[in-house]
Amino acid sequence: MSYAIVGFGAVGQALARAFARKNIGVTVASRQPPEALAPQARAIGPTVVAKSLREALEADTIILAVPFGEHREVAKGLPSWNGKTVIDAMNAFPVPEELDSLPSSAFVAKSFTGAKFVKGFNHLIAATLAADPVVEGGHRVVFLSSDDEDATAPVAALAKQLGFAPVKLGRLNEGGALVHARGRIWGRLIFQDLFKKEQ
């Protein structure tokens, strides 16, 4: 399984730290050339490798860590998303009217037709996400939601590998509503930094 993080700002770097902590390889990319990202990637850890956006999209699993409005540009990077897993770590806030009351991730998923699509790693501020998720007595919780039950299992396995405790919330418009904003109100689980004793 190969992994890429698209977007190397606060959230992209926080997630890169989680991969580096466990010595798991991950490609990082943004619109900047890889040389521009390489020093920061190296500073995070040797398993974090900056590549071009095109090369990053060759990974099996791609984590979206770009501003919400940029997801369409990322989606245009591949002619087909069949066979890919996409993890949406983005938030839309305040929620733009164009979503027409769809959960933001359901809206994003429309641009990634064919991909196994999971919302996750979006509910914590970047500084918290960057911290070691294994603390005395527990593992930091990340919430996963998807309209495709089969898509969630490998993302849950990745979350565990990274040291988090994944909690599956179910479909995007059901349990997933708790990790989406509505209008100008954050979902009830957003910013809740929770821990589980067992992963």
Ligand X SMILES: NC(=O)c1ccc[n+]([C@@H]2O[C@H](COP(=O)([O-])OP(=O)(O)OC[C@H]3O[C@@H](n4cnc5c(N)ncnc54)[C@H](OP(=O)(O)O)[C@@H]3O)[C@@H](O)[C@H]2O)c1
| Chain residues that interact with ligand X, rule: CB under 6 A | 6-12, 30-32, 53, 65-68, 70, 73-74, 89-91, 122, 125-126
What's the min distance (Å) between Cβ of 175 and ligand X?
18
Of 149 and 185, which CB lies nearer to ligand X in the complex structure?
A: 185
| CA atoms within 13 A of residue 24's CA, in its CB half-sphere | 18
Of 10 and 24, which CB lies nearer to ligand X in the complex structure?
A: 10
Neighbours of 52 (CB within 10 A): 16
What's the min distance (Å) between Cβ of 3 and ligand X?
16
Of 91 and 146, which CB lies nearer to ligand X in the complex structure?
A: 91
b/e map of 71-101 (b: 16 or more CB within 10 Å)?
Answer: beebbeebeebeebbbbbbbbbbebeeebee
Query: Which residues are registered as beta bridge partners of 196?
Result: 139
Of 21 and 123, which CB lies nearer to ligand X in the complex structure?
A: 123
- The helix (run of H) or strand (run of E) holding residue 178 is none
What's the min distance (Å) between Cβ of 50 and ligand X?
11
What's the min distance (Å) between Cβ of 10 and ligand X?
4
Structure tokens at 190: 């957003």
Residue with the CB atom nearest ligand X in the bound state: 9
What's the min distance (Å) between Cβ of 24 and ligand X?
20
The position carrying tokens 């960057």 is: 130
CA distance 144 to 183: 21
Of 30 and 85, which CB lies nearer to ligand X in the complex structure?
A: 30
Structure tokens at 196: 């589980």
